[in-house]
Structure 1
Amino acid sequence: VLSAEDAYEKIRAGATFVGLVTGLIFNGPQFVEEVNSGLVALLRRDGFTHISQAVGADVKGVQ
């Protein structure tokens, strides 16, 4: 994961965990805050009030 958008895409696809190590290596410790604030903005944009609501949002109902 190299951005909040990357993490959000994986969460909407069903991920409950995303790895930030590569992003930390390339962007430094401030990367965690950038991803966190970016995720909050993306969740609000899409009308979610809790991150758990976004988990699997793109695949719910798909069998």
Structure 2
Amino acid sequence: MPTHKSSDYKLSAVKYYLSHSKNHVQTCKIFGCSERSLMRWVDKYKSTNNITRKKRDYTSYKITNSHILY
């Protein structure tokens, strides 16, 4: 299972990409991340000016009779 990158790691990769004249392929080689991930981080940073992951509330899923009869 892949591990999540820290928000500091993502932020440093995004800031490096935006501040230097390197393209995303070279930036990914330097930071060791995938090109798609970097571009997703850049898009999120440009739209929200933030990289942190969204917290999800825990919900328990209960099995009901309709699930059993299905």
Question: Structure 2 length normalisation: TM-score?
Answer: 0.39
Higher relative contact order (CA 8 A, sep 6+): 1
Structure number, greater radius of gyration? 2
